Chain A
Amino acid sequence: MDIKKIANICQTKFEEKGIDKVAVTVIETSKTELQTEYEEIGLFRDTKSISIDFRIIHESKQANKSFTFSSIEGIDSQVEETIMMAEGAQADEAHSMASNIKSDNKYGLEEADLDKMYSLLKDFLVEKKEKYPEIKDTTNIVFDKVRYISTNNQGVEHQFSNGFYSIVTIYTAVNGNKSSSMNYQFAATTELPERVLDFNNMEEHYQETIEQIEQREFTEKLVCDVILAPDVVGSQLYSIYSEIAGLNLINKTSLFMDKVGEKIISDKISIKATPNNPKLAMKDSIGTEGYIMEEGDIIKDGVLSTLFVNDYVANKTGLTPTRISANICEIASGDTSLEDMIKSIKKGILINRISSGAPNKNKDFAGVVKNSYYIEDGKIQYPIKEVMITANIIEMLNNVEAVSKETLNSGASIVPWIKCSNVNIAGK
């Protein structure tokens, strides 16, 4: 099915109804997935779909409708319903749509190499069974292909395609009646590894998880140094990003609305939006309003460089629109090796994962550290269990002492390890 033709048909149907502004995106996706379960490759799944997104603004009233495409005849009722949704809405002059922009971007791979996916998983199962029999896992290799065309009646036309693999493993280690915490790894790539165990430190993670069968209780209460692994750093920063976007700006409930140009976290942290980063398998080329997303600093040396302001937010607040988001981003690596970071800690914790409540509005949070280790005298001592962290994310990110040279590439971001001081840790 020609997705450009479908987009044109949809545009024509709205044009015939005299709708002011119409954006139509037609997305073709396919997925090929192999999944291991209980030491066998137990699922081969493929999916194909075409979906359509409408965004219309008529007499300053907006509606969004998305649906899976089945036939040209089925489009009429979706057009009618979208118009009806807009008619029922409030008029809001802030709604807007991009105009006169065109782009054509092709990234990644065209199709899955099924036999390679299968042989990689098969070899992985054999090797894992022999070397790490304690590991119980479900592991998937997935190939995703997406192709879309996004048009509007204001002169916008974007074409985009991307194809990449992702490897996901959810695992625990079991020995007799004892088991570790569950853990998981996910990363996307355009290049399948030679061994699954080579991919994003997976073998190291399995070895650590086996060690974690023998987690020890930790009874001390400390205010100490911690090292946050990349996954933890990413989730902590996510709560900062929410403060510089959307309704927090419109409602003036953002903690950082007036802080552009000011230092909000440690000067050791720099974060850059990289929507088409060649090192990352995923892309964020086009924003929801039809603009081309731009590369740019989000935080530079701890100073907030920008807010995430789309046209709607700009029209509501008077802020200048930006074409920046943190969907695909890179946090600058530092000059300290992870090994030296560990060596520098007298007493502290290497935090590989936090199971935490959502931070409150002021970014206070408490959580249980998981898959984590006690460090003493510069050495990792033992895996710990039932240890809580209580902190304020902003304070913690202001107390950064070092950033690692090493980084982890998840396919959507590149993130280092970060050492922070003065964090409250409490054993049982």
Chain B
Amino acid sequence: MDIKRLIKHLDCYGEIREQKNIVSALGLSNGALVSNSKSLNQGFSARAYKGKEWGFSSTSIMNEEEAKRAIEKAQSNASYLQRMSGNSDLLLPSRITTLEKDLRTTKNLKSIKEKIEFIEDINNRIKTKYPELASVMLYLSEDEAHKEVATVDGSYFKTIIPRTHLRVMMMLNNDGQMLSEGDVFGGLGNFEDLFTSPDELEARIEEAYSHLVNKKSAIFAKAGEHEVILGPDLAGILAHEAIGHTTEADLVRNGSITANLMNERIASDMVNLIDVPHTYNGKLCPRPVFVDDEGVEPVTANIIENGILKSYMHNKESAQIYGVQPTGNARASQYSDEPIIRMRNTMIVPGTSKLDDMIKTVKDGYYLMLPSNGQADSTSEFMFGVSRGYEIKNGKLGNAIKETTISGVAVELLKTVTDISDDLKWLGSGMCGKKQSIPVGMGGPAIKCSVNIGGK
């Protein structure tokens, strides 16, 4: 459909969007193919703004007649609310742009059979090399988001963003207790770009296996406040869950802790935390957003600068209310979803120290490496599961610890940061579930800080 022409049917501010999300999955459990699926979710949506109210309508039927019906319905939905409220029209800020970007591979596409053979090969290598494993699971997932958006204020974009991830999970029976470890490979791009040979995965699988074996003699972490090194994956989830969400302007308006902390110190002065649209240090981030779904050319949100809260993340409406420029954080998951304020690629900026040197400075603490999951509150109180961690005794790594949990208040924890490593690792397979589930990037260096650990 010609959406540049269709946008002219909207009689007020608004956007129209044609979107297609393709997700495919192959799952191998102990060598048996237990999942072989593909989904295609596509359709057209329109959103209209009248008064201070939004009308939205979508359809899966992709023809002009249905598109026009959806546009009319979005307008009439907005009119219904405006008629009831009596609100006058508002002018939203904009930063218009035009862009087309297709990040799909230029290589020949592999067939399903070839992809299955690839993961079977990895499975066979693992089974052969580590015969004592009770279970091996491999899960290859590919998603592609195709979006074409036109806005009444003049923006137009068309982007195609693919992501591919392979999750490897190994289980070991340790005298009746099941232990698990794994790793996630891949990131931005198609299978053909990211997975050329199973050989390339072997070193990291071996590393995961060695952590699994270490868990056989894992000890409980001591409960309470401890000096720790949070690995990059945990720093990333801290940035996203515990600070990021509290600085999304819609949650700020609904009373998150940062509502009263603008220009206040919420972290030690070595902490810088940003939400990046698409490129950091010349490299594409795990989930690049070149234009947001309101047609805004996005900018980096400098949320924490040298420990001081400096910015929230905005869509057009919140930018208008706060009297700032929109940051380009409005995104919708599927064609039938309305854009809401979402993070893009949220990270703590690397420092200058070396991770090994940081570990040497800890006398009695823990190196917490991988999160299992995470949740945080509008107060920035957080809880993260830790699936991989080690004791640090006199500057050296000691025993593995059993799965545990860390918790605290992020705006307090970040004030205890005393060192930041100079490397950056992205956790690119993340999904954020605020009303709609959407891919996000989160990343960071390792940080040295003090945190409350659950345990016995």
A interface residues, Cβ below 8 angstroms from B: 31, 37-38, 40-51, 62-71, 78, 81, 84-90, 92, 114, 118, 122, 136-138, 170-174, 177, 179-182, 221, 247, 250-251, 253, 316, 355-358, 360-362, 364-368, 370, 385-386, 388, 390, 424, 426, 428
Report the minimal beta-carbon distance from B193 to chain A, rounded to whole angstroms.
Answer: 20
User: What residue of chain B has the Cβ atom nearest to residue A181's Cβ?
Assistant: B377
B227 within 8 A of A: no
Contact status of A68 and B456, CB under 8 A, knowing A177-B260, A385-B381: no
- Show 10 residue pairs from A and B whose CB-CB distance is below 8 angstroms, ordered by the A residue: A44-B54, A63-B37, A65-B37, A67-B39, A89-B112, A356-B405, A357-B384, A362-B177, A370-B377, A390-B223
Instruction: Render B216-233 as a binary contact track against A, CB cut-off 8 A, 1 for contact.
Output: 000000010100000000
Taken together as a complex, chains A and B put the C-alpha atoms of A65 and B338 apart, in Å, by: 26
Report the minimal beta-carbon distance from B346 to chain A, rounded to whole angstroms.
Answer: 19
Taken together as a complex, chains A and B put the C-alpha atoms of A37 and B73 apart, in Å, by: 21
Among A170, A358, A428, contact of B373 (Cβ-Cβ < 8 Å): A358
B141 within 8 A of A: no
- Contact check, B255 vs A368: say whether CB atoms are below 8 A apart: no
Of the listed stretches B76-84, B157-165, B298-306, B358-366, name the one at the interface; the rest are far from the partner chain.
B76-84
Contact status of A179 and B405, CB under 8 A, knowing A47-B57, A89-B112, A253-B134: no
Taken together as a complex, chains A and B put the C-alpha atoms of A357 and B454 apart, in Å, by: 10
User: What residue of chain A has the Cβ atom nearest to residue B116's Cβ?
Assistant: A88
B interface residues, Cβ below 8 angstroms from A: 29-30, 32-34, 36-43, 45, 52-63, 73, 77-78, 80-81, 84-85, 87, 111-116, 134-135, 137, 171, 177-180, 223, 225, 250, 253-257, 259-260, 336, 338, 372-373, 375-379, 381-386, 402-405, 407-409, 452, 454-456
Taken together as a complex, chains A and B put the C-alpha atoms of A3 and B61 apart, in Å, by: 14
User: Assuming A40-B87, A66-B40, A356-B405, what are 8 further A-B pairs, CB within 8 angstroms?
Assistant: A43-B55, A45-B56, A47-B45, A67-B39, A172-B378, A181-B378, A358-B373, A390-B223
**Majority secondary structure of chain A interface residues (helix, strand, loop or mixed):** strand
What residues on A are CB-neighbors of B80 within 8 Å?
A: 44, 114
Taken together as a complex, chains A and B put the C-alpha atoms of A253 and B171 apart, in Å, by: 9
Could you say which of A50, A68, A173, A390 has the most chain B C-beta atoms within 10 Å of its C-beta?
A68
What residues on A are CB-neighbors of B38 within 8 Å?
A: 63-66, 81, 85
Among A40, A89, A364, A370, contact of B53 (Cβ-Cβ < 8 Å): A40
- Contact check, B63 vs A71: say whether CB atoms are below 8 A apart: yes
Taken together as a complex, chains A and B put the C-alpha atoms of A71 and B250 apart, in Å, by: 38
- Contact check, B57 vs A46: say whether CB atoms are below 8 A apart: yes
- Contact check, A44 vs B60: say whether CB atoms are below 8 A apart: no
- Contact check, B405 vs A388: say whether CB atoms are below 8 A apart: yes
Contact status of A90 and B39, CB under 8 A, knowing A51-B60, A181-B379, A182-B378: no
Contact status of A122 and B84, CB under 8 A, knowing A181-B378, A362-B178, A388-B405: yes
Taken together as a complex, chains A and B put the C-alpha atoms of A68 and B336 apart, in Å, by: 11
Among A38, A48, A358, contact of B59 (Cβ-Cβ < 8 Å): A48
Among A43, A68, A360, A367, contact of B383 (Cβ-Cβ < 8 Å): A367
- Contact check, A89 vs B383: say whether CB atoms are below 8 A apart: no
What residues on B are CB-neighbors of A45 within 8 Å?
A: 54-57, 77, 338
User: What residue of chain A has the Cβ atom nearest to residue B29's Cβ?
Assistant: A247
- Contact check, A88 vs B338: say whether CB atoms are below 8 A apart: no
- Contact check, A42 vs B62: say whether CB atoms are below 8 A apart: no
Among A47, A118, A366, contact of B454 (Cβ-Cβ < 8 Å): A366
Contact status of A68 and B373, CB under 8 A, knowing A181-B378, A253-B171: no
What residues on B are CB-neighbors of A84 within 8 Å?
A: 111-112
Report the minimal beta-carbon distance from A56 to chain B, rounded to whole angstroms.
Answer: 10
Report the minimal beta-carbon distance from A224 to chain B, rounded to whole angstroms.
Answer: 15
Report the minimal beta-carbon distance from A119 to chain B, rounded to whole angstroms.
Answer: 9
Among A42, A51, A170, contact of B54 (Cβ-Cβ < 8 Å): A42
Contact status of A179 and B379, CB under 8 A, knowing A136-B255, A358-B372: yes
Among A90, A247, A365, contact of B116 (Cβ-Cβ < 8 Å): A90
- Contact check, B78 vs A44: say whether CB atoms are below 8 A apart: yes
Report the minimal beta-carbon distance from A19 to chain B, rounded to whole angstroms.
Answer: 15
Taken together as a complex, chains A and B put the C-alpha atoms of A66 and B382 apart, in Å, by: 37
What residues on A are CB-neighbors of B61 within 8 Å?
A: 50, 69-71
Among A43, A66, A78, A138, contact of B254 (Cβ-Cβ < 8 Å): A138
Report the minimal beta-carbon distance from B67 to chain A, rounded to whole angstroms.
Answer: 11
- Contact check, A361 vs B336: say whether CB atoms are below 8 A apart: no
Contact status of A357 and B403, CB under 8 A, knowing A368-B383, A386-B452: yes
- Contact check, A41 vs B383: say whether CB atoms are below 8 A apart: no
Among B33, B43, B403, contact of A89 (Cβ-Cβ < 8 Å): B33
Taken together as a complex, chains A and B put the C-alpha atoms of A174 and B255 apart, in Å, by: 6
Contact status of A64 and B36, CB under 8 A, knowing A71-B63, A172-B254, A356-B405: yes
- Contact check, B378 vs A361: say whether CB atoms are below 8 A apart: no
What residues on A are CB-neighbors of B385 within 8 Å?
A: 356-358
Taken together as a complex, chains A and B put the C-alpha atoms of A366 and B135 apart, in Å, by: 25
For the complex of A and B, the 3 pairs showing the least CB-CB separation, nearest first, are: A357-B385, A366-B454, A88-B112
- Contact check, B253 vs A38: say whether CB atoms are below 8 A apart: yes
What residues on A are CB-neighbors of B81 within 8 Å?
A: 41-44
Report the minimal beta-carbon distance from A265 to chain B, rounded to whole angstroms.
Answer: 19
- Contact check, A250 vs B373: say whether CB atoms are below 8 A apart: no
- Contact check, B37 vs A69: say whether CB atoms are below 8 A apart: no
- Contact check, B54 vs A43: say whether CB atoms are below 8 A apart: yes
User: What residue of chain B has the Cβ atom nearest to residue A85's Cβ?
Assistant: B112
Report the minimal beta-carbon distance from B381 to chain A, rounded to whole angstroms.
Answer: 7
User: What residue of chain A has the Cβ atom nearest to residue B135's Cβ?
Assistant: A251
Contact status of A40 and B77, CB under 8 A, knowing A70-B62, A174-B255, A357-B405: no
Contact status of A357 and B52, CB under 8 A, knowing A65-B37, A70-B61: no
What residues on B are CB-neighbors of A385 within 8 Å?
A: 381
Taken together as a complex, chains A and B put the C-alpha atoms of A254 and B361 apart, in Å, by: 42
What residues on A are CB-neighbors of B386 within 8 Å?
A: 357
Among A48, A361, A362, A368, contact of B407 (Cβ-Cβ < 8 Å): A368
Report the minimal beta-carbon distance from B321 to chain A, rounded to whole angstroms.
Answer: 9
Taken together as a complex, chains A and B put the C-alpha atoms of A284 and B85 apart, in Å, by: 39
Contact status of A355 and B377, CB under 8 A, knowing A40-B53, A88-B111: yes
Taken together as a complex, chains A and B put the C-alpha atoms of A90 and B117 apart, in Å, by: 10
Taken together as a complex, chains A and B put the C-alpha atoms of A385 and B178 apart, in Å, by: 33
Taken together as a complex, chains A and B put the C-alpha atoms of A87 and B33 apart, in Å, by: 13
What residues on B are CB-neighbors of A89 within 8 Å?
A: 33, 36, 112, 116
What residues on A are CB-neighbors of B402 within 8 Å?
A: 360, 364
Among B73, B84, B225, B384, contact of A41 (Cβ-Cβ < 8 Å): B84
Contact status of A70 and B33, CB under 8 A, knowing A50-B61, A88-B116, A388-B454: no
What residues on B are CB-neighbors of A253 within 8 Å?
A: 134-135, 171, 178
Taken together as a complex, chains A and B put the C-alpha atoms of A44 and B83 apart, in Å, by: 13
Among B254, B260, B383, B409, contact of A355 (Cβ-Cβ < 8 Å): B383
Among B77, B85, B134, B455, contact of A46 (Cβ-Cβ < 8 Å): B77
- Contact check, B30 vs A70: say whether CB atoms are below 8 A apart: no
- Contact check, B43 vs A68: say whether CB atoms are below 8 A apart: yes
Taken together as a complex, chains A and B put the C-alpha atoms of A179 and B73 apart, in Å, by: 39
What residues on A are CB-neighbors of B407 within 8 Å?
A: 355, 368, 386, 388
- Contact check, B73 vs A118: say whether CB atoms are below 8 A apart: no
- Contact check, A181 vs B57: say whether CB atoms are below 8 A apart: no
- Contact check, B383 vs A357: say whether CB atoms are below 8 A apart: yes
- Contact check, A247 vs B137: say whether CB atoms are below 8 A apart: yes
What residues on B are CB-neighbors of A428 within 8 Å?
A: 225, 452
- Contact check, A44 vs B59: say whether CB atoms are below 8 A apart: no
Among A49, A78, A137, contact of B60 (Cβ-Cβ < 8 Å): A49
Among A69, A118, A172, contact of B255 (Cβ-Cβ < 8 Å): A172
Taken together as a complex, chains A and B put the C-alpha atoms of A86 and B77 apart, in Å, by: 43
- Contact check, B52 vs A40: say whether CB atoms are below 8 A apart: yes
- Contact check, B179 vs A361: say whether CB atoms are below 8 A apart: yes
Taken together as a complex, chains A and B put the C-alpha atoms of A87 and B112 apart, in Å, by: 9
What residues on B are CB-neighbors of A49 within 8 Å?
A: 43, 58-60, 336
